[in-house]
Amino acid sequence: MAVFSVIPDAISFNALIASKIQEKGLRQQMHKDDQFYTFVLSHSTKNYIRVRRVEISRRWLQSCAGVAIMSLGAVTYSFYGVVKQAASVQTAQTRENKSLRIQNELAKQELAYLTTRIGNVEAVAKPTQSTVTAQNDSADKIRKGEGGPIESNSISNLPDSNGLPSNSDKNQTIIETTLRTAENTPSIYPIVGKINDEFGWRSNPFGGVSYEKHPGLDIDGEKGDPVSAPASGTVLRAEWSNGYGNLLEIDHGGGLITRYGHLSQIEVKRGDAVTRGQFIAKVGSTGRSTGPHLHYEVRINNQPVNPHLYLPQLPAEIVQQTAVIKK
């Protein structure tokens, strides 16, 4: 009985020893795998060199590497964000400068147009003034040496002066009518750019050998370029229309309207009153379009007419400058 009781104890003891040895070996192996060894020369003299061994945990080293990579990524992302923001600001400034230059060219057109209209008004007023002066001179010559008593009923027979229009009133009416007509005449370009397609017949821009009638002008531009009202009026339409895409239509009175097609954005709404030179929309490529541009129409009693009938001759240098600005 004693023999059989000792043997299991021996087996258990041996198993325990083996388990401890195996566990120690595993710990040593794990400890070895979890260490990184390096040697650092810390001090030296003529006779000896002191060497210090430093043990660094691989997990610690991996953690440090991870933190370093994350920090580098954060710095890189931040730098990219700063660069991207700076590029965005520069792009916005470039676009704003381009817009200001284009508006400056439009202002030059307006000045040239007003100068022409003033010249026309002066041309109308001068003959009238000359006629009045000649009549006064003639009256002075005829009335020299006249005199005599005044009859009692002479004054009562004179016509009421308030009922007779004076020459100055006529001139004022002519000037006001001329300026009012000028304000509502689409006589400046809504945008400055190269004319890609003229009014009239043209080949199909989408290919093929067919031809189609083009009811307006296609003026080159970039998406987002500002569109200005060429004359004062009231917004008649501001909506999507097949073919035109985003369409804006302005009524200038007297059956005269203007249309603006393929817009990326409309800045006014139906019923709004707009003035000459006002920012009304942005160039786009919506609807039936091959690329960013402005489709511009002038219509009289809903019949398209050539916009060049109202527009001044755009100097070639302005078109060239605009092309350079848009690059």
Whole-number Å distance between alpha carbons of 235 and 227: 14
pLDDT tens profile 116-160 = 666 666 665 565 555 545 555 554 554 444 444 444 444 444 445
pLDDT tens profile 198-212 = 998 888 877 766 788
Residue 115 pLDDT exceeds 60: yes
φ, ψ at 246 (rounded to 5°): -70, 115
Nearest Cα residue to 297 out of 287, 289, 305 = 305
pLDDT band at 51 (very low <50, low <70, confident <90, very high): low
CA atoms within 13 A on the CB side of 234: 5
pLDDT at 148: 42
pLDDT at 60: 76
pLDDT band at 174 (very low <50, low <70, confident <90, very high): low
pLDDT tens profile 285-296 = 999 898 999 999
pLDDT at 82: 83
| pTM of the shown model | 0.52
**Which whole number is the average pLDDT over 234-259?**
95
pLDDT at 7: 47
pLDDT band at 169 (very low <50, low <70, confident <90, very high): low
Q: CA torsion sign, 175 to 176 to 179 to 185? A: negative
**Which whole number is the average pLDDT over 208-227?**
89
Question: What kind of fold does domain 195-325 have according to CATH?
Answer: Glucose Permease (Domain IIA) (2.70.70)
Asked if residue 283 lies in contact with residue 223, where contact means CB atoms within 8 angstroms, the answer is yes
Nearest Cα residue to 245 out of 294, 214, 296, 286 = 286
pLDDT at 91: 72
Whole-number Å distance between alpha carbons of 245 and 295: 10
pLDDT at 146: 46
User: Any idea which of 45-49, 170-174, 186-190 has the lowest mean pLDDT?
Assistant: 170-174
Max avg pLDDT among 171-175, 269-273, 309-313: 269-273
The token pair that represents 148 in the structure block: 């005599």
pLDDT tens profile 255-264 = 999 999 999 9
pLDDT at 203: 84
Neighbours of 48 (CB within 10 A): 8
pLDDT at 87: 78
Q: State which H helix or E strand residue 239 sits in.
A: strand 233-241
More confident call, 283 vs 315: 283
Whole-number Å distance between alpha carbons of 232 and 179: 12
pLDDT at 143: 47
Neighbours of 145 (CB within 10 A): 5
pLDDT at 6: 45
pLDDT at 150: 45
φ, ψ at 101 (rounded to 5°): -65, -40
Nearest Cα residue to 227 out of 273, 188, 269 = 188
Mean pLDDT, the chain, as a whole number?
Answer: 73
**Which whole number is the average pLDDT over 222-243?**
94
Which residues on adjacent β-strands are paired with residue 117? none
